[in-house]
């Protein structure tokens, strides 16, 4: 419809069947790599008590300050649609005593998320992320593994060569106390050149000034003292070991001292995958260590690291790279019929074929034979099986190869076997789905 009466809300999109091919493929690749690495899937609710996000993400973050979708229950309880995945996972980890599982505890998720921001290309109000969280291990080898899996997923999706891995350390919270002071000293007296957001954040969270996108703020940020100068020996050692491990794993990275990530909870390693193309909305994913978060949320001190990637942006880059995900929706057999008896027979034939794993569509409506065959063409079916009154009487069926345009009359008995052979042995499965 060119001028529909209703439209989806601003910044929120339908995923139409052609795009679902991409989403399904991404999920498949993510599930494959996560399972291989022993990660188990977790889903947290789409909304949580707003305090879960405020506490974990931090009051001075963009997300908490202005990007949450907030609502109240009838009893006045305040909730927020989840803007990111880590807070909910940590809440669930503590609520269900998952800290008793053997360490490290490894989860992955594939979920919709919601942020109230200005919609633009690559930035939406509902978007989908997959991500993983590894809790209970502080060794930098874990950081290297998480980064490797993230990279490997990009590689299997065909977009790794369009991205660069940006890597930095933001040290421990102790290191940062000192650094905060250095930054406040540096920015004092320069307030007039800062944007309104940065002026406000200067005392609350001065590190946020380093990743401001305003030009004047960026110029000041480039001359600000570097965190490196206050890193403890331990933090330096963590970061240099991580780099050695990444080199060992053959993962290329670029050191980026201005990468701080927007969320308060990060410590030590932070990383993002950036497109090589110019533009600000170009990261496909990012993550880092959050050693202090579990304790902040009321648990025992627990080192942890996570990663989250945006599926809409990945789809965009896959399309740009000309990647076509495999189409498992293709119609393999179209069953056409004429007359009541033929229709009854075709109903069970369709089901028999489907139960064998063959994608089968039948024209069950009242359409003429010409109409049905037109539909078979439009659906790009590989084969058509045509059952008319004569075929029913004679115990035969017409088998038409739609690609070649040739057809033959074959006995009805044994047609299912014949289709199995024609469509290849891989289809042979009368097992129940959960047995596969
Ligand atoms: P973040 O944790 O904010 O860095 O988000 C991780 C990834 O999720 C980003 O690199 C994006 O690919 C994606 N993402 C975050 N916010 C949005 C959004 N509003 N719309 C679409 N994708 C997003």
**pLDDT (tens place) for every residue of the chain, 436 residues total:** 568 899 999 999 999 999 999 999 999 999 999 999 999 999 999 999 999 999 998 887 889 989 999 999 999 999 999 999 999 999 999 999 999 999 999 999 999 999 999 999 999 999 999 999 999 999 999 999 999 999 999 999 999 999 999 999 999 988 888 898 999 999 999 999 999 989 988 888 888 888 788 899 999 998 999 888 899 999 999 999 999 999 999 999 999 988 887 666 789 999 999 999 876 558 999 999 999 999 999 999 999 999 999 999 999 999 999 999 988 889 999 999 999 999 999 999 999 999 988 999 998 777 899 999 999 999 999 999 999 999 999 999 999 999 999 999 999 999 999 999 999 754 445 455 444 4
In a domain, 38, yes or no: yes
In this structure, the strands spanning 126-135 and 304-310 are antiparallel
Quick one: pLDDT at residue 299?
A: 96
State whether the beta carbon of 310 lies less than 6 angstroms from ligand 1: yes
Shared domain check, 144 and 261: yes
Quick one: pLDDT at residue 1?
A: 56
Out of 87, 119, 127, 273, give the residue to mutate to test ligand 1, the one with the largest number of ligand atoms within 8 Å of its CB: 127
What the block records as the tokens of 204 is 């609350």
Shared domain check, 252 and 164: yes
Q: Is 236 exposed, middle or buried (0-12, 13-18, 19+ CB in 10 A)?
A: middle
Quick one: pLDDT at residue 435?
A: 46
Instruction: Give the H or E element holding residue 420.
Output: helix 415-422
Instruction: State which residues form the domain around 95.
Output: 17-172+232-320
Contact status, residue 321 vs residue 159, Cβ threshold 8 Å: yes
In a domain, 207, yes or no: no
Cα–Cα dist 369/136, whole Å: 65
Question: What are the C-alpha distances in Å from 391 to residues 20, 92, 154, 205, 323?
Answer: 39, 61, 52, 79, 44
Q: Which ligand 1 atom sits nearest the alpha carbon of residue 284? A: 12
Q: Is 231 exposed, middle or buried (0-12, 13-18, 19+ CB in 10 A)?
A: buried
Quick one: pLDDT at residue 2?
A: 67
Cα–Cα dist 244/253, whole Å: 11
In a domain, 411, yes or no: yes
State whether the beta carbon of 285 lies less than 6 angstroms from ligand 1: yes
State whether the beta carbon of 291 lies less than 6 angstroms from ligand 1: no
Quick one: pLDDT at residue 280?
A: 55
State the residue for tokens 């190869």: 401
Q: HSE of 388 in the Cβ direction (CA atoms, 13 Å)?
A: 9
Shared domain check, 352 and 277: no
Nearest-CA residue for ligand 1 atom 18 is 123
- Listed residues 320, 344, 362: the one ending a domain: 320
Of the candidates 160, 157, 113, 146, the one whose C-alpha atom is nearest the C-alpha of residue 270 is 146
Domain count, the chain: 2
In a domain, 422, yes or no: yes
Cα–Cα dist 305/285, whole Å: 14
Shared domain check, 124 and 247: yes
State whether the beta carbon of 427 lies less than 6 angstroms from ligand 1: no
Shared domain check, 340 and 412: yes
In a domain, 144, yes or no: yes
Shared domain check, 311 and 355: no
State the residue for tokens 């320069």: 190
Q: What are phi and psi of 193, to 5 degrees?
A: -85, 0
In this structure, the strands spanning 304-310 and 267-275 are unpaired
Quick one: pLDDT at residue 293?
A: 95
Shared domain check, 157 and 299: yes
In a domain, 168, yes or no: yes
Of the candidates 256, 38, 34, 271, the one whose C-alpha atom is nearest the C-alpha of residue 156 is 34
Contact status, residue 398 vs residue 391, Cβ threshold 8 Å: yes
In a domain, 227, yes or no: no
What the block records as the tokens of 70 is 């907030």
- 370 Cα to the center of ligand 1, angstroms: 49
Sheet holding 40-41, edge to edge: 40-41, 105-114, 126-135, 304-310, 283-289, 267-275, 163-169, 254-255
Burial state string for 34-71 with b = 16 or more CB within 10 A and e = fewer than 16: beebebeebebeebbebebbbbbbbebbbbbeebbeee
DSSP 226: P
What the block records as the tokens of 147 is 């980064």
State the residue for tokens 């919709």: 112
Shared domain check, 84 and 32: yes
In a domain, 196, yes or no: no
Shared domain check, 421 and 361: yes
State whether the beta carbon of 292 lies less than 6 angstroms from ligand 1: no
Of the candidates 349, 335, 277, 284, the one whose C-alpha atom is nearest the C-alpha of residue 311 is 284
State whether the beta carbon of 316 lies less than 6 angstroms from ligand 1: no
Task: Specify the CATH number for the domain of residue 141.
Answer: 3.30.930.10
Shared domain check, 161 and 283: yes
- Listed residues 320, 351, 366: the one ending a domain: 320
Contact status, residue 93 vs residue 106, Cβ threshold 8 Å: no
Question: No. of H helices and E strands in the chain?
Answer: 15, 16
Shared domain check, 79 and 101: yes
- Listed residues 296, 320, 344: the one ending a domain: 320
Shared domain check, 272 and 351: no
Instruction: Give the H or E element holding residue 232.
Output: none
Task: Specify the CATH number for the domain of residue 355.
Answer: 3.40.50.800
Cα–Cα dist 302/263, whole Å: 18
């Amino acid at each position: 419809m060119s001028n529909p009466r209703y439209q989806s809300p601003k910044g929120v999109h339908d995923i139409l069947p052609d795009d679902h091919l991409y989403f399904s493929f991404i999920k498949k690749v993510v599930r494959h790599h996560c399972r291989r690495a022993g990660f188990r899937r977790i889903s947290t609710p789409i909304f949580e008590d707003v305090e879960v996000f405020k506490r974990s993400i931090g009051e001075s973050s963009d997300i908490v300050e202005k990007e949450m979708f907030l609502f109240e229950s009838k009893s006045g309880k305040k909730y927020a649609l989840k803007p990111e995945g880590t807070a909910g996972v940590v809440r669930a980890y503590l609520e269900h005593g998952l800290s008793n599982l053997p360490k490290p505890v490894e989860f992955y998720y594939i979920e919709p998320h919601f942020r109230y921001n200005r919609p633009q290309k690559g930035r939406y109000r509902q978007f989908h992320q997959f991500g993983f969280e590894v809790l209970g291990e502080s060794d930098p080898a874990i950081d290297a593994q998480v980064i490797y899996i993230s990279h490997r997923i990009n590689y299997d999706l065909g977009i790794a060569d369009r991205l660069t891995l940006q890597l930095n350390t933001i040290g421990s919270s102790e290191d940062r106390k000192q650094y905060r002071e250095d930054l406040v000293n540096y920015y004092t007296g320069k307030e007039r050149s800062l944007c309104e957001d940065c002026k406000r954040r200067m005392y609350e969270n001065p590190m946020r000034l380093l990743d401001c996108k305003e030009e004047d703020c960026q110029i000041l940020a480039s001359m600000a003292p570097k965190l490196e100068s206050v890193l403890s020996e331990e933090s330096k050692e963590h970061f240099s070991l991580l780099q050695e491990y990444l080199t060992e794993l053959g993962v290329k990275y670029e050191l980026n001292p201005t990468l701080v990530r927007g969320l308060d909870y990060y410590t030590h390693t932070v990383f993002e995958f950036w497109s090589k193309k110019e533009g600000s909305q170009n990261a496909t994913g990012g993550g880092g260590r959050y050693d202090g978060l579990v304790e902040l949320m009321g648990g025992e001190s627990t080192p942890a690291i996570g990663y989250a990637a945006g599926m809409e942006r990945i789809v965009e880059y896959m399309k740009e790279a000309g990647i076509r995900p495999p189409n498992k929706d293709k119609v393999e057999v179209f069953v056409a019929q004429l007359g009541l008896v033929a229709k009854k027979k075709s109903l069970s034939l369709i089901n028999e074929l489907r139960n064998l794993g063959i994608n089968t569509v039948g024209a069950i409506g009242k359409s003429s034979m010409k109409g049905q065959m037109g539909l078979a063409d439009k659906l790009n079916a590989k084969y058509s099986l045509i059952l008319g009154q004569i075929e029913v009487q004679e115990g035969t069926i017409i088998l038409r190869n739609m690609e070649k345009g040739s057809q033959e009359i074959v006995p009805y008995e044994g047609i299912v076997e014949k289709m199995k052979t024609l469509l290849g042995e891989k289809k042979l499965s009368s097992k129940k789905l959960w047995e596969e």
